[in-house]
Amino acid sequence: MSQNDFQIDRWAYARVRRTSAYRALASAWADPVLLACSGGVDSVSLVATAAVAAEAGRVAPFVVVHVDHGTRAETAREGRFVAALASAFGRPFVQLRLGGDSREGDQGPEAALREARYEALARLADRLGIQAVVTAHTRDDQIETILMRLLSGASPLASAGMKTVRTLESSSGSLDVRRPLLGVSREALHRVLEILSLPHREDPTNLDLTYRRNRIRYKVIPELELLDPGFGEGLTRAIELSGADSALVDRLAREAYENNVEVRVRTLSVSRSFLRSADAAITTRVVRTAVESLLAGDLRELTYERIRAVVEAAVGRTGANIELPYGIVAIVKRDRVVIGRKSECEAGDDWR
């Protein structure tokens, strides 16, 4: 497909500017960004709406990027489609080819591909001197993510949803991931394509029910909508309210951390009397922050159960040893719980 296959009706821009997608996107970034586009409805709408906003001077310039994982025969064709789309709007385009060699490990295929994708985007951003990538995640994606995380038990209510801005660390440095359309429905993005008469490409894996997210999208959410047509708004509102409460507890936990944690070069310790007496919402946050300060990289193995085990050990016998991820341990001393690598914790006999 070439840019001539796109008949961009610039007279329709005025109608796009009246959409909820445009209102959410206008003024969403003041410095150049990458725009991730797969060729699907949501990301094509993102590119189109951003182009309208850029022409009006409401957002800074952007580079359209397509990431080809090489996992399907169609991906090269989808990349050419996105290149033609960017060209039709007069925007620069970059194709990233990853060769389909992402390692799955223990994360699962989706997580492995996502990690490889953001690593590649971070390298490109570093090369171009850009600090952020904008994605087309919608309110529908948010609801799916919340349900997935709550059902897995991996996240408390306050942290179950995606953030509008998240900073990722990579081998190329930090990359801000911005999601300005999180409050916009997928239907609203469809509306932008209808206004501009734009085509899109559908990834067939989005219909594959072997993926958990797809089962939630096509099986679970329709049933919930039948039970309560407004459940999605109620769910996201509950997350927002819980987040406000959580922010207060986070502040109290930061104060408790400063007052009850002692830090040394490779180890740190937490007051046992604090762990025994303070509320669990505070103590678990303090212990988690302490352990995270010693870990570099993946924190997914740092589960709530492990953190809670450290807090409960403080009530028990001196000498108890709690194993944490990546060789980190928590050893219960007389007055404090010492956290670090086992050899270093045991060497620090002056901890009491």
> Where residue 102 sits, what CATH number does that domain have?
3.40.50.620
Same domain, 278 and 146: no
In-domain check, residue 233 = no
What are 98's two structure tokens?
């990853």
User: What is the pLDDT at residue 219?
Assistant: 92
What are 28's two structure tokens?
């969403």
In-domain check, residue 217 = no
Other beta carbons less than 10 A from residue 236's beta carbon: 18
Q: What is the pLDDT along the chain (352 residues), one digit of tens a residue?
A: 555 567 888 899 999 999 999 999 999 999 999 999 999 999 999 999 999 999 999 999 999 999 988 777 778 889 999 999 999 999 999 999 886 554 544 445 666 778 888 999 999 999 999 999 999 999 999 999 888 888 876 566 667 788 899 988 888 888 999 999 999 999 999 999 999 999 999 877 777 888 888 999 989 999 999 999 888 888 888 888 888 888 899 999 999 999 999 988 778 999 999 999 999 999 999 998 998 888 765 566 778 888 899 999 999 888 888 888 878 899 999 999 999 887 777 665 565 5
User: What is the pLDDT at residue 108?
Assistant: 53
The boundaries of the domain holding residue 155 are 3-204
CA 302 vs CA 201, 291, 292, 323: distances in Å:
38, 8, 8, 11
DSSP SS3 for 43: helix
User: What is the pLDDT at residue 107?
Assistant: 45
Other beta carbons less than 10 A from residue 271's beta carbon: 19
Same domain, 167 and 256: no
In-domain check, residue 227 = no
Same domain, 65 and 155: yes
> Where residue 314 sits, what CATH number does that domain have?
3.30.465.60
Using CA atoms, how far apart are residues 147 and 352, in angstroms rounded to an integer? 44
Same domain, 266 and 122: no
Same domain, 19 and 124: yes
Same domain, 161 and 61: yes
Same domain, 195 and 253: no
pTM of the model: 0.77
In-domain check, residue 185 = yes
151, 138 Cβ separation under 8 angstroms: no
Same domain, 177 and 262: no
In-domain check, residue 232 = no
320, 332 Cβ separation under 8 angstroms: yes
Kind and range of the H or E element at 226? helix 221-227
In-domain check, residue 162 = yes
In-domain check, residue 270 = yes
User: What is the pLDDT at residue 151?
Assistant: 81
Same domain, 135 and 23: yes
Same domain, 175 and 256: no
User: What is the pLDDT at residue 110?
Assistant: 67
Same domain, 20 and 165: yes
In-domain check, residue 220 = no
The number of distinct structural domains making up the chain is 2
DSSP string, 313-327: HTTS-TT-EEE-GGG
User: What is the pLDDT at residue 230?
Assistant: 85
HSE, CB side, 13 Å, CA atoms: give it for residue 79.
Answer: 17
User: What is the pLDDT at residue 104?
Assistant: 46
Same domain, 93 and 180: yes
